[in-house]
Structure 1
Amino acid sequence: MMTSGLLCATDGSAISEKAVVYAAELARSQQQHLAFLTVVTGSEDQHPMVWDEKRLRAGDLPPDRELLSALSVATHQELQHLTCVRVHGRNPAAAIVSYAEKNNYHHIIAGSAGLTGAKRLLLGSVAADIVTRAHCPVTIVR
């Protein structure tokens, strides 16, 4: 089975920006394909929007602030093999892992604020949920 490379989840937060930088550096050092993915909460019936290398080179850029920010980091790292993806889902972690699995990504990268105790119980943790659900290695950046 062919692997598609690294998948970095981003929501535009400061902590996910750290994950974006880490993913871009890792992709460059390993010469891997890198995809940035953001989840729009809502109906899961909609198909993912994918901006592949061809669309990105043609100037067809995603309107999502978080994807544009990630794309800027990747461009600064001079990465050549990039994809930007917007998926819809009620559960961000499930949407991220599902996309990674369906598209054969072999490594997921995400940020986490490192919540513990009562805060984590009340707010939940997308990062922890990704780790629990993932079919592949997950790197959590703090």
Structure 2
Amino acid sequence: MVHKILCAVDGTKHSDKAVELAAELSTKLGSALTIATVNVLIGGARSGQIYAHDDADVQKTLADAKKIAEAAGAKNAQIVVLRSREASAGIVAYAEQDDFDIIVTGTGDKHGLSRLVLGSVAADIAGKAHCTVMIAR
């Protein structure tokens, strides 16, 4: 049984598709939906903690995702900001800590060299998660 769904978002059109899928699953299965974004820590020990995005941008990303989820039929979706050095690690740790049954995430159009250099958060999540991972395209 699927009780809890975690949807990882980053404010892109790819993550909007993930939100739509997660909302549909949540509605059909009667599962709780949590939408999360990771504000990646980019500052070092000497410079103090510096995050990739300011709080206003992070909150806008989550508010926009919640609107998409509600338009797709989700009721009472929760939102959460995670902070981590790595987006995939933050999502995977939170999903395991809070015992989510499914993680839904989107993926971009990375090919060739950009895929090798930049990696893929979705692939990292799928490879490390303790639960089922759905990748929306």
Q: Normalization by structure 2: what TM-score?
A: 0.82
Q: Are residues 1:70 and 2:74 paired?
A: no
Percent identical among aligned pairs is 39
- Give unmatched runs, 5+ long, in structure 2: 43-48, 50-56
Structure 2 residue matching 1:23: 3-state secondary structure? helix
Measure how far apart 1:116 and its partner are: 3.2
Residues of 2 paired with 1:63 and 1:141: CA distance?
Answer: 21
Contact 1:4 1:104 in 2 (8 A): no
Distance (whole Å) between structure 2 residues aligned to residue 30 and residue 3 of structure 1? 7
> What CA RMSD, in Å, does the superposition of the two structures yield over aligned residues?
2.2
Deviation at 1:71, TM superposition (A): 1.0
Residue 16 of structure 1 contacts residue 110 of structure 1 at CA under 8 Å; is this kept in 2?
yes
Shift of 1:78: 3.8
**What is the CA distance between 1:4 and its match in structure 2?**
4.9
* Contact residue 24 and residue 74 of structure 2 kept, 8 A: no
Matches within 5 A, 1:52-71: 64-71=59-66
In structure 1, distance between residues paired with 2:84 and 2:3: 22
Which segment is superposed worse, 115-124 or 17-26? 115-124
* 1:129 alignment partner, one of 112, 117, 124: 124
**Structure 1 unaligned residues grouped into runs of 5+:** 47-61
Q: What is the number of residues matched between the two proteins?
A: 124
